[in-house]
Amino acid sequence: MNVYPPSEDSELLLEAAMREISPDDEVLEIGVGSGFVSERIKDLCKHLIATDISPYAVRESKSKGIEVIRTDICKGIRKKFTLILFNPPYLELSEKERRGNWLEKAINGGKRGMEVIVRFLDEVKEVLADNGRIILVVSSVNKGIFGEIERRGYAYEIVGQRKLFFEELYALKLYRR
């Protein structure tokens, strides 16, 4: 298996996206994976583009009729979006757990599970419309994530959550302060 299978975090992102999306939205889903979310919302908005770093995820999502660009987060994209969705890798894998494959990229968020999220917060400003919103999935294992969000000029609200046996997942709605 080379593509992250839809899980509780994918479902949480989809639920939050369904509540937030409007017909006028220009949507960017970063880290589209299997296309689980994009496939279900692409007809509910004006336009949807997705990105993924994995060639396997790009191929699988394209097979579902999703417009996908292979890139890291949003590098090279020059368009502005009113709604950006991201279910990032948010776990910290130990040396023993690392495999060096594409699936690892979908789950390994780096140190404290926050390196990819912080990079996303820094880079997404370039593609977020002035009145844009972001739906971001984070975990209770990401200690300090709310401070990182605020330090980068975003306000947030929790728009969904899911309790799992070892963590709590949050769907956050972010917007510029």
Instruction: Give me the CATH number covering residue 87.
Output: 3.40.50.150
In a domain, 1, yes or no: no
**Total-model pTM:** 0.91
- pLDDT of residue 102 exceeding 60, the answer is no
In a domain, 3, yes or no: no
What total of structural domains would you count in the chain?
1
Higher pLDDT: 98 or 8? It is: 8
In a domain, 86, yes or no: yes
In a domain, 2, yes or no: no
In a domain, 170, yes or no: yes
- The C-alpha angle with vertex 68 and arms to 170 and 153, in degrees rounded to 5, equals 40
In a domain, 168, yes or no: yes
The domain containing residue 23 runs over which residues?
A: 8-176
Across 10-19, 51-60, 92-101, 142-151, the highest mean pLDDT is recorded for 10-19
In a domain, 105, yes or no: yes
pLDDT at residue number 95 = 66
Q: What percent of the chain has pLDDT over 70?
A: 88
- pLDDT of residue 108 exceeding 70, the answer is no
DSSP track, 70-90: ESSTTTT----EEEEEE----
